[in-house]
Amino acid sequence: MSLRINDTAPDFTADTTQGAIRFHEWIGDGYAVLFSHPKDFTPVCTTELGTMAGLEDEFAKRNAKIVGISVDPVESHERWKDDIRTVTGHAVNYPLIGDTDLKVAKLYDMLPAEAGDSCEGRTPADNATVRSVFVIGPDKKIKLILTYPMSTGRNFQEILRAIDSIQLTAKHQVATPADWKQGDDVIITAAVSNEDAVRRFGSYETILPYIRKTKQPAA
C-alpha cells in the first residue's frame, strides 16, 4: 500500500556516508527531508545533490535535517562527492544512504515491487521512479510527498517554501494560498469563527464567505 500524508514514516536502519543510522532516532525532535536520486555519477543528480549541499544551512534554520539516498553503495557516494563539488561548488556534508538491497526504496514505494533485491546491474532507467522527496515532522508523520520524473531536476526552493508553510500552519489555524511565500497574507481556516479570528489575528479581510485573509502570524 502506498504511503500517504500523515502516515507514520517507516523506520529503518541503514548504512550512510556518516555511518549507520536508525532513521527515527536520527530525525530526533526536528524535521527531516529524505530525498532520493536515480544513480550516482549522472548529470541531473549531480546538480541536485550539490544544490541541496548549498541549501543545508537554510534547512538547518528550519530545524530540518537532510539525507540523500540511492541504491548505489556508500563507497560510490563517497567517490562521487568530488564531482559534485567540482560541478556545483558545494561540498556534500549531509549523509547519503547506500540502499544496495533496495530495502528503503521499497519501504517508501520508490521502486516497483518487481525491481529485484539488489542494486547489481541496475541502470538509471531501472531507477526512473527514484527521484522522490519526503518531508517528515518531529512526530515522525509524513508531511509532504513529491516524485519527479527522471529527466526533471527538482526545485529545492519549493521544498523550503513548503516546510515554511507546514511549520506555520502547524502552529496557527491558517492555510497558505497558491504561490505563498514568507511574509505573504495567509488564509484563516474554516475551523476559526469570525469572532475567534478577531481575537487571534486582530483583523482580517473577507474575500468570499469561505475565504478570509489576514497577515501572516508571528512565529
| Catalytic residue numbers, as ranges | 45
3-state secondary structure 96-144: EEECCCCHHHHHCCCCCCCCCCCCCCCCHHHHCCCCEEEEECCCCEEEE
Write the DSSP symbol of residue 20.
-
The answer to whether 170 and 138 have CB atoms below 8 angstroms apart is: no
For 209, the grid coordinates are 464567505
Question: How far is Cα 174 from Cα 23, in angstroms, rounded to an integer?
Answer: 30
DSSP, res 177: -
Half-sphere exposure of 160 (CA within 13 A, CB side): 16
